Amino acid sequence: MTFEAGRLSRFTAAGIITGLTLAASMLFGTCALAQPWPNKPVRVVIPWPPGGTNDIVGRAVVQRMGTQLGTAFVVENRAGAAGTIGAAVVAAASGDGYTLMVHSATHLSNASTYKSLPYRTIEDFTPLAFLSGQPWVLVAHPSLPVKSVKEFIALARAKPGGLDYGSSGSGSSPHFGMEAFANAAGIRLNHVPYRGGPPSMNALLGGEVVASAATLSNAIGPIKAGRLRALGVSTLTRQPTLPDVPPLAEAAALPGFEMNPWIGLFGAGGMRRDLAERLNSEANRALRDPDTRKIMESVGLDPLVGTLDEFAARVKADLDRYARLVKQIGLQPE
């Protein structure tokens, strides 16, 4: 009897110690989970080269967010394969808010232009916020004997497939934009993809290609310097930075033609709703900052402010839109 009581006492003591250890562990874990975000630097992957539209927008916005939150937002450019290389990095990360991505609508078109991707376009990402509109402009090298959209179309019809145009990559927004325009105008062009907007622009300036559907941020400098000829913008209205350049819909007599994609902020998949709302709020706050807006507007970009649900809805709608466009213009997945 004494033996059993002593044994019971030892077991009881051991149980108390174990219980206290588990309680302490649970308490520590709860405290760890309850730590406010952010409490360490935030990694921001931009899957495009430095100096391009996504890079300009991303850096302007996240640097302001870092100032607002008192935490470093560290930008990492991971360019290649129309943004899929960088996107794969983010898809593999935790949805804890410490790995973000600044990407364009190309993220959605990639789902239709690649036979397979190392991630799921919707499920492996959390749409957080609009950042900007991304209008593009049809530009031509000065050596090309055209001064208007109608002249460009006439030359393309006279040389089917004989005009080379550059883009920031297969499946990129400029690629889709130019192909949609060519389809609407009834012309055939030869696509030459590059690894981002700046390389594509350098190729056009160097005469490797004769035209491009370039984002305004990449093209505005060479246009104003007289090194490129601007023929038409992709929006339904004229752009303040190029007030003399007509919309393609007007210049080419293509009523309703518009291609105005966007750039947005994403997180890894599985992010908590409250954290996603916080990031959306901070991004919108940064977009309202006068200095941030000045940077974006100086290169022809339109800051966009919207809710979490509005951006998520646009992401899903554009995924379907690009899938339809791929079939319409006959692009073959790579």
Coil vs helix vs strand at 120: coil
Phi first, then psi, for residue 191 (nearest 5°) are -85, 130
Q: Which residues contact 157 (CB under 8 A, 6 or more apart)?
A: 186, 187
**Other beta carbons within 10 Å of 20:** 10
| Residue 185: half-sphere exposure toward Cβ, Cα within 13 Å | 26
Token reading at 171 = 């499946």
Q: Please choose, from the candidates 133, 148, 168, 172, the residue with its C-alpha nearest in 3D space to the C-alpha of residue 299.
A: 133
Q: Which 8-state DSSP code applies to residue 332?
A: P
Residue in the block written with tokens 């599985």:
270
User: What whole-number distance in Å separates Cα of residue 245 and Cα of residue 224?
Assistant: 12
Strand partners, 233: 137, 247
Q: Which residues contact 277 (CB under 8 A, 6 or more apart)?
A: 308
CATH code for the domain defined by 136-251 = 3.40.190.10
| Residue 278: half-sphere exposure toward Cβ, Cα within 13 Å | 13
**Other beta carbons within 10 Å of 243:** 8
Query: What are the residue ranges spanned by the domains of the chain?
Result: 42-133+262-329, 136-251
Per the rule left: phi > 0, alpha: psi between -120 and 50, beta: everything else, 62 is: alpha
| pLDDT of the chain, 334 residues: tens digit per residue | 443 444 434 444 444 444 444 444 444 444 444 578 999 999 999 999 898 889 999 999 999 999 999 999 999 999 988 899 999 999 999 999 999 999 999 999 999 999 999 999 999 999 999 999 988 999 999 999 999 999 999 999 999 999 999 998 887 888 888 999 999 999 999 999 998 888 999 999 999 999 999 988 889 999 999 999 999 999 999 998 899 999 999 999 999 999 888 999 999 999 999 999 999 999 999 999 999 999 998 888 889 999 999 999 999 999 998 999 888 878 878 7
Can you give the pLDDT at residue 34? 52
Alpha-helix residue ranges (DSSP H) falling in the chain: 2-33, 53-69, 84-91, 106-113, 149-158, 173-185, 197-205, 216-224, 248-251, 273-287, 290-298, 308-329
Can you give the pLDDT at residue 169? 82
Per CATH, the homologous superfamily of domain 42-133+262-329 is Bordetella uptake gene, domain 1 (3.40.190.150)
Same fold flag, 42-133+262-329 and 136-251: yes
